Amino acid sequence: MAAINADPEVMRWIRDGSVRDEQQTRGGIQAWESEWESQGFGLFAVEIRSTGELAGFTGLSVPHYLPEVLPAVEVGWRLGRSHWGQGLATEAAAAAVRFGFEERGLERIVSITQVGNDASERIMTKLGMHPVRETVNPTGGRRVRVFELSSDQCVTTTR
C-alpha cells in the first residue's frame, strides 16, 4: 500500500494531492482497522485473485473531513496505476456498497470526488449514484462533488 500511496499520479485526486510515505501509510491502515472495531465497517484490501497481488483498497468510511455531509458513510477506493481501467474499482466498490446496505443496514451511501476526476465519477455512475452537491473540501481546499445512493435504489443498480 505504501508504494501505491507514494505514486503522485495515484494521489493526484486525494485531498491536496500529496503523496504519503510508509509511516503515514501505516498510520492510515491503523486508523482504518480501528474504524472496523468502532463502526462495524471499513476498508477491504483488493487483491488480484490469480496472483494474490495487492491492487489497492475499497470500502466504507465516515467522511469526517467533509462535515457538511454528515451523518454519512462514504464508499471509496484507491488502486495502483497498473490496475486502472480493468473494472476492478467498480467491481470492488459495488461489493462494498452491497455490504453496507445488506450487512450493515445502511440507508444511504455517498461518494466524494474532486471536480475533474472523471474516472471516479464514471465509477460512481456505474454504481447507480447521482450527484447531489458540489462544495469545497476544507482539508485540501479543492472543489468536490458528492454523489449518493439510497438502499432502495441499490436493489436495482448494483446487483
pLDDT digits (tens, 9 = 90+) for 27-42: 988 988 999 999 999 9
pLDDT level of residue 154 (50, 70, 90 thresholds):
confident
pLDDT of residue 158: 42
User: In this model, does residue 61 exceed pLDDT 80?
Assistant: yes
For 6, 74, 149, the CA distances from 64, given in Å and listed in that order, are 23, 10, 19
pTM: 0.92
Over residues 79-106, mean pLDDT: 97
Q: Which residues, in sequence order, are bridge partners of residue 113? A: 145
Output the average pLDDT for the chain.
Answer: 94
Give residue 122's pLDDT band: very low, low, confident or very high (50, 70, 90).
Answer: very high
- Reply yes or no on whether the pLDDT at 83 is more than 60: yes
What's the CATH class of domain 1-153? alpha beta
pLDDT value of residue 140: 83
Cell of 153: 435504489
- What average pLDDT does this structure show over 121-127? 97
d(C-alpha 53, C-alpha 159), whole Å: 26
What pLDDT score does 9 carry? Answer: 96
Contact 79/56 with Cβ under 8 angstroms? yes
